[in-house]
Amino acid sequence: MRILLISYYFPPAGGAAVMRWLRFIRYLSLKGHRVTVLCSSGGDYPYTDESLLQKIPEDLPVIRAKAPKMSRFWKLIAHKKEGLPHGSLDTKEMGWLARLMVFIRLNFILPDLRVFWNASAYRAALKELKSKPYDAVISTGPPHSSHLIGLKFKKKYPRLQWFTDFRDPWADIHYLQLKPPLSFIRYLHRSMEKRVLQKADNNFIISHAIAAALPEAPKTVIYNGFDPDDFASIEYQESLTLRIKYIGQITAGQDALQILHLCKYIPQKLELSFIGTRLSESEIQAFKAELGSSFRHLPFMPHQEALNEAVNSDCLILLINEYSGSKGMLTTKLFEYLASRTPILLIGDTASEAAEVIRECAAGTCFAAHELKQAAEWVAELPSGYRTSGNIGAYSVAKQIDKLIRTMESKNSY
């Protein structure tokens, strides 16, 4: 099968948004399927990770369509060194001009800021589709504006199979719930979401809860999964210090200070690390005041180094966002945590799908945000050097790819 994948994020872009399809492509290629990637060039990425370029199969065709660099305008307006906000539209610490720009972004730029890449991406994809026969197009989001490219091709080539890939909800994505646009704009989001889902031949969704919440349409749940090969060369090194780590970004609806309160209840010597996490200055000062040199705030690091940090931990923290759609949050991070065999502490919705996975795999435990004292007792009682040993095989990338291929091959080829 020949597949054209439309993904705004692809190496050298780094972070969680890249890993799902970087892993999937490798396994699709091993099973004889030919994938071509259409991605952005010079886009706005939360991180860059040049090391991920080495994980791209050598024979993988990659088409890079120029994307406008919106972060330049943001830095000028917001007077911030960092680029565009990713996963949050919180305006509490912004000036009036930046708040105005966020309002315009929420209510006048639909479905998201990456929509300005669509024209360039469509031209590049059209040229590719005319040059050789394809069996399917897959559009992955966020950014969900990428699905509008797939929708346009479905109109032009009705017999071409088109599959969407939802790594997050669309109209109910966490930052739109916590920072809602005008009612009419929410209606437009829902209308676009419904049209995309119902026009696609099938829709790959990362969790059952998100799939259930989306409009009625053909859907197949495909987890992010983990690749055991990523961990083959990493060895656990025991430490006399209790190493507690949070790896990745803090997004809207997550409270980093919950981890500080947790640590206050732990009696033994500990080291708390945030890795690749953007914290506010007030949060950093709070952690330093309480933990001193036992607090590590490390910048974003290459993916393999981050996995090494995960393995060489004694407890990994998973925060579930506090909003109505949190039950379906199944991040890339969760599956990498599983594969690390480090005990996982989930803080948040104990009835969430992530909590169910952790319990099913005997990979850790789950506490609500108001149960931090009990959570700390659990962490403090972890045996030194404890590694989890539950059956996690159902969540491997290989299993997810088998399901994805079965779904795609059930359709007639173009």
Tokens representing residue 361 in the block: 């795999």
pLDDT digits (tens, 9 = 90+) for 128-175: 999 999 999 999 999 999 999 999 999 999 999 999 999 999 999 888
pLDDT digits (tens, 9 = 90+) for 201-212: 999 999 999 999
Q: What does the mean pLDDT of the chain come to?
A: 92
Intrachain domains 2-68+114-223+397-409 and 228-394 with the same fold = yes
Per-domain boundaries in the chain: 2-68+114-223+397-409, 228-394
Residue with tokens 């969430």: 352
Q: Look at 273 and 77; give whichever has higher pLDDT.
A: 273
What is the rounded CA–CA span in Å between residue 247 and residue 333? Answer: 8
What is the rounded CA–CA span in Å between residue 154 and residue 161? Answer: 8
Residue with tokens 């439309």: 6
What is the rounded CA–CA span in Å between residue 292 and residue 288? Answer: 5
Strand 219-221 versus strand 295-298 pairing type: unpaired
First to last CA, the chain: 10
pLDDT at position 412, please?
A: 40
- Evaluate whether the domain defined by 2-68+114-223+397-409 bears CATH number 3.40.50.620: no
pLDDT at position 80, please?
A: 53
pLDDT at position 358, please?
A: 98
Give the CATH fold of the 228-394 domain.
Rossmann fold (3.40.50)
CA 153-154-158 angle, to 5 degrees, is 120
Average pLDDT value for residue range 224-230: 96
pLDDT digits (tens, 9 = 90+) for 56-114: 999 999 999 999 977 665 555 555 555 555 555 565 666 777 778 888 888 999 999 99
**Per-residue exposure over 378-405, b if at least 16 CB sit within 10 Å of its own CB, e if not:** bbeebeeeeebeeebeebbbeebbeebb
Query: Which residues on neighbouring strands pair with residue 367, listed in sequence order?
Result: 347
Structural Rg of the chain based on CA atoms: 21
Neighbouring CB atoms inside 10 A of 361's CB total 18
